[in-house]
Amino acid sequence: MWRVVALTVATFTVLLAVRRVVMVVSGLVFARYVAVGGLAAFSVNRDAADGYAVRFEAGGPAVFHNVAVTLCGVQGTVPAPPLRHTMIAGDGPLEWTFRLSEQVAQQAWVTVTWVRPYLQGVESESLAHWLQGDQLYEWRWYSDTNRHVRTVVRFAARRWSVGGETLRELPLQGRWRRTSSNGTADLLGPTATPPPRT
């Protein structure tokens, strides 16, 4: 009798695991083929001794909504450009120039944020650029599973003092990741690169 019960429980467990794997794989395929992509070119250049020029433009099939440029890490206010409600390929670039002293610029960075449709909802995205550097960063949200695991790990580290300070302050939502797409030439595709002469 107990063998039948154990066999039934094992069969249901395997069926549930197979169902879960099929759902995850089909979700990945669905996201790959349905999610609408797009390109963004973002640059921060030094104009004069203490002047900076910011430029952001969109390309590809995506529509960016509520595009905002913000100067971060600065005390006080530097007037930012107005919010762009909708931005698509072919729209004029969002350009902004401002002045900052050398000491203030060392601690400052510029972010561009926008919202765009993703599957059945919307997703916020962001790019960031230090004023004194040449690296571009993009914000990457953690998946729901990753967020759940990070929440459990952070709770355990705070509750039982496991793993040190790093795990007690583990970020839950996402992280900045370096990226290399930071020029207008990225929007041109193959026209920006000449073919080989062989």
What's the rounded Cα separation, in Å, for the pair 17 and 11? 10
The answer to whether residue 118 is domain-embedded is yes
The answer to whether residue 147 is domain-embedded is no
Backbone angles phi, psi at 138, to 5 degrees: -120, 145
Of 61-75, 85-99, 115-129, 178-192, the least confident: 178-192
The answer to whether residue 179 is domain-embedded is no
Residue of higher predicted confidence among 157 and 162 = 157
Residue of higher predicted confidence among 72 and 185 = 72
- pLDDT for 25 equals 56
- pLDDT for 73 equals 86
**pTM score of the predicted model:** 0.68
The answer to whether residue 163 is domain-embedded is no
How does pLDDT run across 99-156, given as a tens digit for each residue? 888 888 888 899 999 987 777 778 888 888 888 887 888 888 888 888 888 888 888 8
What tokens does 189 get?
């595709």
- Please indicate, yes or no, whether residues 22 and 43 belong to a single structural domain of this protein: no
Q: Which residue range is the domain that position 101 belongs to?
A: 39-141
How does pLDDT run across 15-67, given as a tens digit for each residue? 777 777 666 555 544 443 333 457 788 888 888 777 898 888 887 777 889 99
- pLDDT for 36 equals 43
- Please indicate, yes or no, whether residues 26 and 44 belong to a single structural domain of this protein: no
- pLDDT for 198 equals 60
What tokens does 39 get?
């390109």
Inter-CA distances, 88 with 69, 112, 162, 181, Å:
16, 15, 48, 18
112, 56 Cβ separation under 8 angstroms: yes
* Residue 85 pLDDT grade (very low, low, confident, very high; cuts 50, 70, 90): very high
- pLDDT for 86 equals 92
- Please indicate, yes or no, whether residues 44 and 77 belong to a single structural domain of this protein: yes
- Please indicate, yes or no, whether residues 12 and 106 belong to a single structural domain of this protein: no
Of all helices (H) and strands (E), which one includes residue 25? helix 2-34
Q: Report the domain count for the chain.
A: 2
